[in-house]
Structure formats: C-alpha cells, structure tokens
Amino acid sequence: MGRSPKELGMDPTEVALKNDGVEGRDMAYLAEFKAAHGFPVRDSLRECIEKGKKAMNWDEKWHAPGTRRLPNGRMHGMGFTWTHEWDDTRGAAAAGLMIQADGTVNIIGLRADVGVNAETAYCQIVAEELGMRPEDVFFRHQDDAYLPLMTPDGSCNLSTNGYLMQKLGRMAKQKLLDVATTGVNVIEYDVPPAFPGRTPDELEIKDSIIYVKADPSQRKTVEEVAKDLGGAIMRNKLDYAAIG
C-alpha cells in the first residue's frame, strides 16, 4: 500500500510529478511514444501544476496538513485538480439550501452515487459556514429537480462542489441574520424581528444558536426564528387555500 504525501512529508504536487507516466514507465518513454505517433511532445501535467501553483501562490501558502490555523482557530486548506485526458473541464455545479421550520438545514442537489461519502463533506462545510451543528444539516438528493452538482462527486470534484457549499452557507447565514433583525412580510402577515434594534453585524451564529456578540445571553435558536417564519407562511397558505 502506498504512503500519502502527508506521511512522506512532501508537497503533493511533487508526489504527482514523480508518479507521472504511463503503465509504470516514466515521462521520457511517453515523450518518445508521443513523437512516434505524431502527438506534441509536452509535459502537460507539469504545465498544469505550474500554472495552478502560480495562480494561487502555492509555494508561499502550502504547508503540511494540520500545521496552520486561521486567526479564528479554523483549519484551512486549498487545492486544485487535473485529470489524465486529452481534453477535460471540471465544469460547474448548482444546489439549493433550505432552512426548515424545525431549525434544520437541507442541502438540495442532484449527484451520482459512485460509492463515496461526499455528502458528509458537503454538510460539514455548510454547517461551519452557516454556524449550525453538523447534526442539523442534511443532504437531500433530488432526482426530480435540475440542481446538478459536479459529478461523480469524488475527490476530483470536491473543489468545485465544496466551493459551492461554502457559498451556500455564507449566503444563507447572511439571509438568516437579515431576517432575524428586520423581520419579514409574507403577503399580509408581518413577522417581527427576533432581534429588534439590532443589525446583522451585531449577531453571530454558532451551534445552531443566533446570539448578540456583545451579550451572548441574548440568544435564540435557529429553530425559534425559523418556526415563526414557517408559521406565518403556513397560515398564509391555509388562508389562500380556503379562499381558492
């Protein structure tokens, strides 16, 4: 069994280049094969790695796993991918996110099941960005809604889908804090703000609880805030169903 770049203490891009080749043979052999069959002789993997590293300032930022933390204490990392194809693109991804009336969060997306547990990573990213407990975030696979994640959702696509999950979490957090401080009007139903007189910047979300940064004792669970909104929407639907 091979050893990981972490165990070897090596930059993973160096490991990739050392293992580049075909059928156990090195790049010199592959260059001869390309020349003999009319293909351009180029080290395309090295080109991709050099451009990727330059674009993200890799040499200055790379560090061994677990050796650095952000000022807020979070772990962090970055990555880029390549693939062994004549032509390929990582593509794009789409997904939705819903905060339910019971305070749980649903990620809605379409993905292929290739036997990897990508959903756990997606839930963890959304939970961290949104401020929810991991056990309150769920991935809801949808095969009847066109919100396609970049598939097959293995390691090569975590960069694309992971970025999307981060964006979803941040957007939902901002929306939730906006609603918590301004309230909402659902047709003729007004839902008062959960934190009147406060601005979103004065609030934070952690462990599925919204609280005032300057006074954490002023707090409400996400469920409490979402339940008020859900109740107003449901009352509105029932009234209009009766009229209809």
What is the rounded CA–CA span in Å between residue 125 and residue 170? 10
pLDDT, residue 27, reads 87
In a domain, 30, yes or no: yes
pLDDT, residue 7, reads 78
* Same domain for 234 and 184: yes
Q: Which of 130, 151, 168 is the last residue of a domain?
A: 168
In a domain, 131, yes or no: yes
* 3-class SS letters over the chain: CCCCHHHHCCCHHHHHHHCCCECCECHHHHHHHHHHCCCCCCCHHHHHHHHHHHHHCHHHHCCCCCCCCCCCCCCCCCCCCCCCCCCCCCCCCCCEEEECCCCCEEEEEECCCCCCCHHHHHHHHHHHHHCCCHHHEEEEECCCCCCECCCCCCHHHHHHHHHHHHHHHHHHHHHHHHHHHHCEEECCEEECCCCCCCCHHHEEEECCEEEECCEEEEEEEHHHHHHHHHHHHHHHHHHHHHHC
What is the rounded CA–CA span in Å between residue 115 and residue 122? 15
In a domain, 107, yes or no: yes
What are the φ/ψ torsions at residue 117 (nearest 5 degrees)?
-95, 60
Domain count, the chain: 3
Per-residue pLDDT at 231 exceeds 70 = no
Average pLDDT taken over every residue of the chain: 82
User: What is the tens place of the pLDDT at every residue in 127-145?
Assistant: 999 999 999 999 988 777 6
The CATH code of the domain that includes 107 is 3.30.365.10
Contact 208, 169 (CB under 8 A): no
* Same domain for 101 and 162: yes
* Same domain for 160 and 221: no
pLDDT, residue 87, reads 45
pLDDT, residue 2, reads 60
Across the range 155-184, mean pLDDT stands at: 87
pLDDT, residue 90, reads 61
In a domain, 38, yes or no: yes
Across the range 29-34, mean pLDDT stands at: 88
What is the rounded CA–CA span in Å between residue 203 and residue 180? 9
* Same domain for 146 and 189: no
Across the range 152-159, mean pLDDT stands at: 68
In a domain, 69, yes or no: no
What six digits make up the tokens of 37? 């069959």
User: What is the tens place of the pLDDT at every residue in 68-95?
Assistant: 888 888 877 777 776 655 544 567 888 9
Q: How confident is the model at residue 22 (pLDDT cuts 50, 70, 90)?
A: confident
Is the pTM higher than 0.85? The answer reads no
* Same domain for 180 and 151: no
* Same domain for 151 and 103: yes
Q: Which residue has the higher pLDDT, 228 or 20?
A: 20
pLDDT, residue 152, reads 67
* Same domain for 164 and 111: yes
Per-residue pLDDT at 3 exceeds 80 = no
Q: Which of 4-8, 91-95, 229-233 has the least mean pLDDT?
A: 229-233
pLDDT, residue 89, reads 53
* Same domain for 186 and 137: no
Which strands, in side-by-side order, build the sheet including 203-206?
Answer: 203-206, 209-212, 215-221
In a domain, 70, yes or no: no
In a domain, 222, yes or no: yes
Across the range 10-28, mean pLDDT stands at: 86
Which range, 20-24, 29-33, 113-117, 205-209, is most confident? Answer: 205-209
Contact 156, 81 (CB under 8 A): yes
Residues spanned by the domain of 38:
5-61
Q: Which residue has the higher pLDDT, 202 or 81?
A: 202
